[in-house]
Amino acid sequence: MMAQKAAGINVDAFIVSVLDQLDVANLVLESIIKYMDIKSFESYMTYLYKLLPQWSKDAASIWQNFARYTPDKLIDHAKNVLPQQLSTILDYWDTQLAEAQVNKKPMTAQAIALESRYYQLFQGHDLWVKALVGYPSDIAAEKIRRYWNKQTGYEYPSEKDLLLLWKLGLETREKVEDYYREIEALPAETAKNIVEMRKWQVGWPSLRDMNVLLQLQKIDKSDVINYMRYNYGFSTTMAENMLDLLDYTPSPSEILRLSDLIPLDMNWVEEQLKENGLAKTERDIYIKAIRKRPLRDEATRMSTVLIELYQYGAINDSEFKKCLSQLELTTEEINAKLILAKVLRQKYITLLKRDAKIYLYRKGVYDEETLREKLTYIGIDLAVANAIVELEAAKKGVELIEE
């Protein structure tokens, strides 16, 4: 029997090319149920049970070794082993045919095929057949398919390419509609509507760029409206509202900057601030700032003049505050400027008194000690007073002895 022949082959014969192809239990059960040659199959089934443990142990290492072969070496192995396997199968069939001629109950053809299949599985027969016949035939079939593809050209391009060809005028609208009817199996009316929708989805710039083109009068308003309708599903009314938003709106900071350069219409300012999303309270604050902004520099200069007038005693506290209030300054700002003005006035007074004492010293009315006393009396620090006395004495050629 073939079982004895299989037992005599090399260890690499006891492997299978595809593990999930081997289902011994189901195959044997099918054989037992469908055919009446159980006794003829018993010896082979016993052999299989004995073989499986050793096969499970050796199969992985055997096929790992095959995996390291180069393609040429694998093909050479297939050329050597495949004829041997086919010869073994044919010899087994000859044996069974001879037994059938003298035996009144030979094995059925199905049982013979089943035992042959087991042999093929354990020998990796399918792989070697693919190596010499299967893969080359697949490649040949692919070449034939490509040849007929070239001869018939029956396929459509991709949807994207077909739409681009149509927009470029290289394909007809009818062919695009046929694509949706034949490939997507859509009704004629639906295909027509989709093509109309795709017309506004392919071959157009961004929405922002379309608005620029509209401002340049390169496209019509209806083009932008249709673009938004067919790309975003907007109603005509919503698309028109969105179109208004696409117009450039200066930011609040830009509006403030413009107010430095030119007078702005407050109604226009109100509208721009509203389009920026500012609430009424915030808009009122910005408008108040813009109204005041052109007078900012003038108000600063006016404040400086008023501080100088106060410093020199030309105006009093109430007059100072009244003038500043006309510049729309806050109470806090007015009080801060008044404090500054008072400090500067006191400085001015102190300088005048200091210069008067120094002048009298220069005229000989005061000596050094008297000058020192007068300076400290008007509030000048003693260290500063000593330095002034020393300087003025030096101008007279007198060197003071430091105590």
Instruction: Give the pLDDT confidence of 187-199 residue by residue, as tens digits.
Output: 999 999 999 989 8
pLDDT at 5 over 80: no
Question: CA gyration radius for the chain?
Answer: 54
Assign residue 69 a region (left: φ > 0; alpha: ψ between -120 and 50; beta: otherwise): beta
| DSSP conformation letters of 195-231 | HHHHHTTSS---HHHHHHHHHTTSS-HHHHHHHHHHH
| SS3 category, 15 | strand
CA-CA-CA-CA dihedral for 159, 161, 162, 165, to nearest 10: 160
| Residue 358's pLDDT band (cuts 50, 70, 90) | very high
Q: What is the mean pLDDT of residues 163-182?
A: 91
Alpha-carbon gap, residue 256 to 290, rounded angstroms: 6
Task: Give the C-alpha distances (Å, rounded to integers) separating 106 from 39, 45, 92, 247.
Answer: 11, 17, 13, 94
Instruction: Give the pLDDT confidence of 33-77 residue by residue, as tens digits.
Output: 444 455 555 665 665 566 666 666 666 677 777 778 888 888 888
pLDDT at 20 over 60: no
Q: What is the mean pLDDT of residues 112-130?
A: 64
What confidence score (pLDDT) does residue 78 get?
80
pLDDT at 104 over 60: no
| Structure-block tokens of residue 59 | 């199969």
Q: What is the mean pLDDT of residues 217-241?
A: 88
pLDDT at 128 over 60: yes
What confidence score (pLDDT) does residue 17 get?
40
| Residue 373's pLDDT band (cuts 50, 70, 90) | very high
| pLDDT > 90 fraction of the chain, expressed in percent and rounded | 22
What confidence score (pLDDT) does residue 87 get?
76
Q: What is the mean pLDDT of residues 220-226?
A: 89
Comparing 259 with 171, the larger pLDDT belongs to 171
What confidence score (pLDDT) does residue 24 get?
47
Q: Which residue in this structure is represented by tokens 């404040």?
A: 303
The answer to whether 275 and 308 are in contact (CB under 8 A) is no
What confidence score (pLDDT) does residue 3 get?
42
| Structure-block tokens of residue 252 | 């609040």
Alpha-carbon gap, residue 180 to 399, rounded angstroms: 112
Instruction: Give the pLDDT confidence of 21-36 residue by residue, as tens digits.
Output: 445 445 444 544 444 4
Kindly report the average pLDDT of the chain as a whole number: 78
Measured between its terminal Cα atoms, the distance across the chain in Å is: 138
What confidence score (pLDDT) does residue 11 get?
35
Domain boundaries, given as residue ranges, for the chain: 2-149, 159-237, 252-294, 296-395
Instruction: Give the pLDDT confidence of 296-324 residue by residue, as tens digits.
Output: 777 788 889 999 999 999 999 999 888 88
| pLDDT > 70 fraction of the chain, expressed in percent and rounded | 75
Burial 323-356, CB ≥16 within 10 A → b, else e? bbeebebeeeebeebbeebeeebeeeeeeebbee
| Residue 96's pLDDT band (cuts 50, 70, 90) | low
The model's pTM is: 0.42
pLDDT at 332 over 70: yes
What confidence score (pLDDT) does residue 365 get?
92
pLDDT at 105 over 80: no
Which residues, at least 6 apart from 289, have a Cβ–Cβ distance to it below 8 Å?
Answer: 256
